[in-house]
Amino acid sequence: MEKNIVDILKKNQLSITDSRKKILSLFVQSNGALAHADIEHQSGTEFDRVTIYRTLQTFVDKGIIHTIPTTDNSVRYALCKDDCSAGHHHDDHVHFMCDNCGTTYCLDHITVPAVKLPKGFKVTQTDVVVSGVCNNCNN
Amino acid sequence: MEKNIVDILKKNQLSITDSRKKILSLFVQSNGALAHADIEHQSGTEFDRVTIYRTLQTFVDKGIIHTIPTTDNSVRYALCKDDCSAGHHHDDHVHFMCDNCGTTYCLDHITVPAVKLPKGFKVTQTDVVVSGVCNNCNN
DNA sequence: AATGCAATGCAACGGCGTTGCAAAACAAAT
DNA sequence: ATTTGTTTTGCAACGCCGTTGCATTGCATT
Ligand SMILES: [Mn+2]
Ligand SMILES: [Mn+2]
Ligand SMILES: [Zn+2]
Ligand SMILES: [Zn+2]
């Protein structure tokens, strides 16, 4: 869906460049989250790594992708399927990391549970990261 | 409690060294989690930063401290108050990061909720990181 | 086609975490 | 207390990650 990719960029008032088209298409095709290294690898020497960093940051700012907290503290990104916009992310779903294949999934339909905190604590965001074996590896 | 510190080290079959005593005492005194930089700062030029890295790793291996997943993907450590031992951590409590003062807390009495996952996913660990304003800043 | 502005590539930098190795410190035995 | 073997430490070096400044290129608009 080359068309679809361009539409997403236009809708977010981003100019259409090769790197943005390529990187965004990688996210659309992928079913799991992508790290900077994944993108660098999958796009060969096509783009400078700085461009990848900047493109990822732009996409996050625009609400096109969101960062995912991980237990191995690496930075991963995935498409926002929620109604995210510039400066307002609403990706309140559970994330899953497979210990076997390393894939990180957005479980978009599993919303994070409410956590009761001690008096005096004000909650603004809750992140849930589940580790284990994914349905793809579990057969 | 100089005595207490040494006891913990002995109980874990670790030789008693200046760096281990110092670093462990920092954790015992602190009410929040510590990053490598915090320890480096609070111990001045007393120890090489490599020693701090190795000491932290040793403590994690022994089940004395545990790592804490954070949303800003920095590495933080805190004392295990649960019955953790070498190779077997059981720190299934919620962690809280204050957006205001930056402190990361172990909410030892708040256990992580069970999360229902789609069929085929096997859960081995669940991490919950809550962000917001802590009870110390909220006054 | 020309213009103004935004994005990219390149080079350099600082910070983080790791590794190898020699020196120092520790624990156990004499 | 001294010796001995083992563990820990400090130092140096390295690679990786993410950032920044700046000149060049590419994009969108007229
Ligand atoms: Mn997600
Ligand atoms: Mn904890
Ligand atoms: Zn898997
Ligand atoms: Zn606070």
State the pLDDT confidence band at A2, using cuts at 50, 70 and 90: low
Using CA coordinates, name the residue in chain B closest to A92: B130
pLDDT in tens, A115-127: 999 999 999 999 9
pLDDT in tens, A43-63: 988 999 999 999 999 999 999
How confident is the model at residue A88, as a pLDDT? 84
Instruction: Please enumerate residues of B whose Cβ is less than 8 A from a Cβ of A.
Output: 69-71, 73-75, 94, 96, 99, 107, 109-110, 113, 115-136, 138-139
Q: B105 C-alpha to center of ligand 4: Å? A: 9
Closest CB from A109, A118, A132 relative to B122? A132
How confident is the model at residue B113, as a pLDDT? 96
Average pLDDT over residues B84-105: 91
User: What is the number of the ligand closest to the CA of B101?
Assistant: 4
Chain A residues touching B124 at Cβ < 8 A: 99, 131-133
> Across the interface, do B129 and A134 touch by the CB < 8 Å criterion?
no
Closest CB from B74, B107, B126 relative to A118? B107
pLDDT in tens, B36-94: 999 999 998 899 999 999 999 999 999 999 999 999 889 999 999 867 888 888 889 99
> Across the interface, do A69 and B71 touch by the CB < 8 Å criterion?
yes
Specify whether the CB–CB gap between B9 and B24 falls below 8 A. Answer: yes
Specify whether the CB–CB gap between A78 and A108 falls below 8 A. Answer: no
User: What is the number of the ligand closest to the CA of A105?
Assistant: 1
Chain A residues touching B132 at Cβ < 8 A: 121-125
Q: Which tokens is A136 given? A: 């793809």
| Closest CA of chain A from B105, distance in Å | 11
Percent of chain A, pLDDT > 90? 86
CA angle A129, A135, A139 (to 5 degrees): 140
Taking C1' of D28 and every protein CA, the nearest residue is A15
How confident is the model at residue B82, as a pLDDT? 64
> Across the interface, do A121 and B113 touch by the CB < 8 Å criterion?
no
Query: Which pTM value belongs to this model?
Result: 0.91
Q: Which tokens is A57 given? A: 């940051």
Q: Which residue has the higher pLDDT, A29 or A2?
A: A29
Is A134 part of any known ligand binding site? yes
SS3 sequence of chain B? CHHHHHHHHHHCCCCCCHHHHHHHHHHHHCCCCEEHHHHHHHCCCCCCHHHHHHHHHHHHHHCCEEEECCCCCCCEEEECCCCCECCECCCCEEEEEECCCCCEEEEEEEECCCCCCCCCCEEEEEEEEEEEECCCCCC
Taking C1' of C25 and every protein CA, the nearest residue is B17
Region of residue A132 (left: phi > 0; alpha: psi -120 to 50; beta: else): left
Top-tier CATH class for A2-134: mainly alpha
> Across the interface, do A121 and B135 touch by the CB < 8 Å criterion?
yes
* Domain ranges (residues) in chain B: 2-134
